[in-house]
Structure formats: C-alpha cells, structure tokens
Amino acid sequence: MSQDFAGQTALITGSTSGIGRAVAEQLAARGARVIVSGRDKMRGDNAVSKIRSTGGRADFLAADLSQIDSVTALARAATEMAGHVD
C-alpha cells in the first residue's frame, strides 16, 4: 500500500491478530486513525500499543461479531469515538 490515509478513520474487525492486525498496522503507518476491534481486550490493547509506539493513532473497541447487539454497539461506539468512520 502506498496510499495516504491521513484524516481518515478505519474500523478494522478481527484486527487483534493475523491479517487484520497487519492491515491495521499498515493503515496506521499511512496516516489513518485505526479502531482495532476483536473479542480479546488484552490482544486489542497489545495491537494498539504497537501502533502507537510507531507514531500511529489507534484505539480498541471490543466486539463479538457473532452477536448482532455487539455489532450494533461497535458501529455506534466507533462513530462516537471518532466522529466518523471511513
């Protein structure tokens, strides 16, 4: 990726590990504010810490996408946290 994402906010589900985490790290490295999401707060906090340690902007929101109420709450919380999600 070489695109500049400055001024944009990305909500990335499943981003506490694996491919999702790599995507979160890459978007943050290119200027996006990243909202890391997953079920495990400890893994989410670790992902956020790594992104922040390299100068990126990131926050964590817990969510279980198998539960519709959790999906709805995630969308609402992300929008409230960031003002918008791109």
pLDDT at position 3 is: 83
**Run of H or E including 57:** strand 57-62
Asked whether the CA dihedral 60, 34, 70, 75 is positive or negative, the reply is positive
Mean pLDDT of 52-70: 97
What is the helix (H) or strand (E) element at residue 16, kind and residue range?
A: none
Q: Give pLDDT, residue 37.
A: 98
Read off the tokens for 17. Answer: 């590990």
Kindly indicate the confidence band of residue 84, based on its pLDDT and cuts at 50, 70 and 90: very high
What local confidence, expressed as pLDDT, does residue 2 receive? 65
